[in-house]
Structure 1
Amino acid sequence: MENLNKFTFTLTVNESEIDDLNHVNNIHYIKWVQEAAQKHWSILSNPNLDALYVWVVLRHEIDYISSAKLHDNITVNTWIGNSYGVKSERFVEIKKDSKVIAKAKTIWCLLDKKTMKPSRIPLEIIKVLELKND
């Protein structure tokens, strides 16, 4: 049973992501969190929804547990939490060797693409966010 509410991708740490302390700079974890959301939404969404709405970040909370280094293989897991009003929660775990090295919670806000103002999440999108393929 596949759960489309969850999404995973992998990457290998490259030299441009390494800082003066010889590990991945914190900004790249945020980049991976955003990349996870964008990639997952591109699977869940469709051109009709994308023409009407856009998501923006209201808040990122991130816990750095351990570090990643050059050439480490990283797995990024994301899933959708509660969606309510104009907001939707998204969670991300970043793993190295099956060990969580960072975790994040992001609050996203749905905007009407024409007005760029917050839009209550319509039932059509709620259904997409809660989609499970039994």
Structure 2
Amino acid sequence: MTPAPIPTYHYPISISPGDIDHMGHVNNAVYLQWVQEAVVSYWEHGSTLEAREQMLWVALKHEISYRMPVFLNDHVEAQVTATGTHGSRASFTTLFKRGDDLATEVRSSWCCVDVTTRRPRRISPDIANIFLPQ
């Protein structure tokens, strides 16, 4: 059974003291970890067990636009949206929001990989339709 489409996935972010840099805000490198966690959680939440047993995702590229700093006690949420697929590649936009304010925007490209061969695997229409509803 194919899950219902989830166009935008909301993922809560936990900020720990180790995420804070010498300037008193979340270190820029921490956002890469958060993107990884949020996109993988999106995949795990939306996909079938069968799909998760057959496919893995590898990040290819991230473009990060920082709009405002985030601090230790801020409440932050990642909002992940799939924006397209082509062959074995999928693109996502992840917005990190502090309340209603956009703190950071990340556009990323990922490659679908076969779990056994570790080689790129074409994204089938049934998988794409889970994340990119028509």
In 1, the alpha carbon distance for the partners of 2:130 and 2:5 equals: 12
Residue equivalent to 1:109: 111
Q: Alpha-carbon deviation of 1:121?
A: 1.0
Q: 4, 26, 31: which is aligned to 1:24?
A: 26
Identity %: 25
In 2, the alpha carbon distance for the partners of 1:92 and 1:66 equals: 15
Residue 40 and residue 15 in structure 1: after superposition, are their counterparts in 2 closer, same or farther (change >3 A)? same
Structure 1 residue 83 corresponds to structure 2 residue 92: no
Matches within 5 A, 1:1-134: 4-131=6-133
Residue 12 and residue 72 in structure 1: after superposition, are their counterparts in 2 closer, same or farther (change >3 A)? farther
Q: Alpha-carbon deviation of 1:65?
A: 1.2
In 2, the alpha carbon distance for the partners of 1:7 and 1:118 equals: 25
Stretches of structure 1 lacking an aligned partner (at least 5 in a row)? none
Q: Alpha-carbon deviation of 1:75?
A: 1.6
Whether the 8 Å CA contact 2:78–2:96 is kept in 1: the answer is: yes
Stretches of structure 2 lacking an aligned partner (at least 5 in a row)? none
Report the 3-state secondary structure (helix = DSSP H, G, I; strand = E; otherwise coil) of the residue aligned with 2:25: coil
TM-score by length of 1: 0.90
In 1, the alpha carbon distance for the partners of 2:100 and 2:125 equals: 36
How many residues align? The count is 131
Letter in 1 for 2:117: T
Whether the 8 Å CA contact 1:12–1:71 is kept in 2: the answer is: no
In 1, the alpha carbon distance for the partners of 2:64 and 2:104 equals: 7
Whether the 8 Å CA contact 1:12–1:72 is kept in 2: the answer is: no
In 2, the alpha carbon distance for the partners of 1:119 and 1:19 equals: 38
Q: CA RMSD in A?
A: 1.7
Residue 74 and residue 124 in structure 1: after superposition, are their counterparts in 2 closer, same or farther (change >3 A)? same
In 1, the alpha carbon distance for the partners of 2:34 and 2:103 equals: 13
TM-score by length of 2: 0.90
In 1, the alpha carbon distance for the partners of 2:24 and 2:98 equals: 16
Q: Alpha-carbon deviation of 1:106?
A: 0.7
